[in-house]
Chains A and B, each alone.
Chain A
Amino acid sequence: MSEPRQLSYRDALREAIAEALVRDPRVFLMGEDVGAYGGCYAVSRGLLAEFGPERIRDTPLSESAFVGAGIGAALGGLRPIVEIMTVNFSLLALDQIVNNAATLLHMSGGQLSIPLVIRMTTGAGRQLAAQHSHSLEGWFAHVPGLRIVAPATLEDARGMLWTALEDPDPVLIFEHNQLYNLRGSLPADAGAVDIDRAAIRRAGSHVTLVSYGGTLHKSLAAADQLAAEGIDAEVIDLRTLRPLDADTVLRSVARTRRAVIVDEGWRSGSLSAEIAARIQEEIFYELEAPVARVCSQEVPMPYARQLEAAALPQAEGIVAAARRTVGTHA
């Protein structure tokens, strides 16, 4: 067995890209400043020198054209990884993602598959204000034809990309900006992981906290605080937002009988609303308390530190929500 080593989430993503480039000559990376600059969040730093400008391809600031070019390249037999700097910029490429990537297989009666991977940064917490901080992955998770994943751990940052590249359909990977500096250890031989199932990151029996991406770590912190109060919280990491692994969520909530959904998206029309609805459709009579939600406040994300913090789900809010679900009928 090889020794585990210390690295960051960012390093894990970079290793995954480098491994894919080595393993499959059809793979290439393109996006704004992925080459000479090294990536807006330094994920691709060093890759240009190693793989050259044909495979680490800087693009103009033309989100629609380079995402569409990714679709065309996938149709033409390549395995593109397209990086979009941040989810807010992906709105400039919505036409290609929603009208083409998500529809071509279906409109063509199964003839055209699009093995395309799009990576993008999501989420707030860096005081980047209202055009670089939103969590719009829930919008994309609304669209049939797309697979949406959100790696929240080093293992998933290292392992989801290869599986996504092997998928015959478009996969969007959402990387929460607060995770890039997350450090931890991985085995030297860490590799591909599934992109189908949610994971239980902490087992518990009193309440289920449902989270993904950036909210996983806040939920784990909340679970620690709850433990000190004698409340045993189970923490689920959804990992894949579309298709949802509802079974894992429903089985957990059927056991704990209480659920708190933690979603950095806005509450109205959110992924959290979808999960709450599914719980109530499927296991309403198992519940001991109303399903609770902790979401972002419904404001464009503000710049000022205290306002941004107040707009986001925080461990304290998760603890309070969990306590209410338990307190109601404990």
Chain B
Amino acid sequence: MEITPDTHIVFTVAGIAVSATVVWTWVVMALLVALSIAMTRNLTSDFAPSRWQNFLEALIGETRRQIAEVSHHDPGPYLPFIGTLFVFIATSNLLIVFPGYEPPTASLSTTAALALSVLVAVPIYGIAESGLWRYLKNYMEPTVFMLPFNVIGEVSRTIALAVRLYGNAMSGVVLAGILISIAPFLFPVVLKLLDLLIGFIQAYIFSVLAMVYIASALRARRGNAVASADAEASSATKQGNQGA
């Protein structure tokens, strides 16, 4: 048994081994690009849009709503990044219904690349929103002694993001393999159903966490009034919980 599709070499091009991870990542990418082109070709503003346009509008609208709820910002600038993360991870997790498919998210290389893109996107969005100095000052909150812990936190949450998605996707593949060897046919199918749910939730969680991390970098710009109102609201909820 293998715990990563990286070791499964599909073919070799000019001495470079192409693993199953790369092949299936490109399959997912090609599928997404082809579907996007096909869906956006006949966009109308009629009262009766096509079913694909309906689906697309529901997807985009819901993504925008979730981003706005998490960040309390205009979702416009974050929609391309967060939406792409969500759609890619969800597609690569949901395609496990096809036999022979190996999800690229079950490889630590893919999830590490996705987490690294979040690590790079956080300062980019933060600096674009509040400027370089205020973004860097964010690391020295509440005191300058917190600087190393903030930096460590930045790195460790990136690793956690990568390992969480990898662990969930990989556990589905490994468990299915083990179950097929000890209890074939029915039980692995039921477990695959659970995997579909878990894969979708993990895609949601990855994109929500990415948005939460970006929003925490944006917080530098929000005024003290908003921050203190937030703190009061959260402490009020805490007291309410304790009182009950």
A binds B: no
